[in-house]
Amino acid sequence: MSNPIDNAYEILDRITDGFFAVDEKWSFTYVNSEATRLLFRDRNDLVGRNLWEEFPEAVDLAFYDQYHRAIREQTSVVFDAFFPPLKKWFAVRVYPSVTGLSVYFQDITNQRIVLSHKEQHY
């Protein structure tokens, strides 16, 4: 009989969005394969580690404010933000619970570049 936790992790690894979960202390509890690819980090280097210590640059960006807002208000949050260390734009969806956050994100850098070029054209 298969383990329900293993089944859930397998599902999260199949989705095309980057996904990670953090607990109430901001420690990574899970990071899917797409997140490791987008963040250029190994899953084993992140799980158990503090989000803000691993990505200190994010503290001064929308990621910090929006993640904290989701926890504080216990409401889902959707936003786009640029992450300078990776030179990438991300579309982010955040879902809170009393035990932490679930974060889904996609690299939208190419879409932002195309949009910027269209705006410059007009």
Is pLDDT larger for residue 57 or for residue 8? 57
Show the domains of the chain with their CATH numbers. Answer: 4-121 (3.30.450.20)
Q: Which of 9-18, 80-89, 90-99, 109-118 has the lowest mean pLDDT?
A: 9-18
Residue bearing tokens 């202390």: 25
Q: What is the mean pLDDT of the chain?
A: 89
User: What is the distance between the alpha carbons of residues 25 and 29, in angstroms, rounded to a whole number?
Assistant: 10
pLDDT in tens, 65-104: 999 999 999 999 999 999 999 999 999 999 999 999 999 9
Give the model's pLDDT for residue 114: 81
User: What is the distance between the alpha carbons of residues 82 and 31, in angstroms, rounded to a whole number?
Assistant: 20
- pLDDT higher than 60, residue 121: no
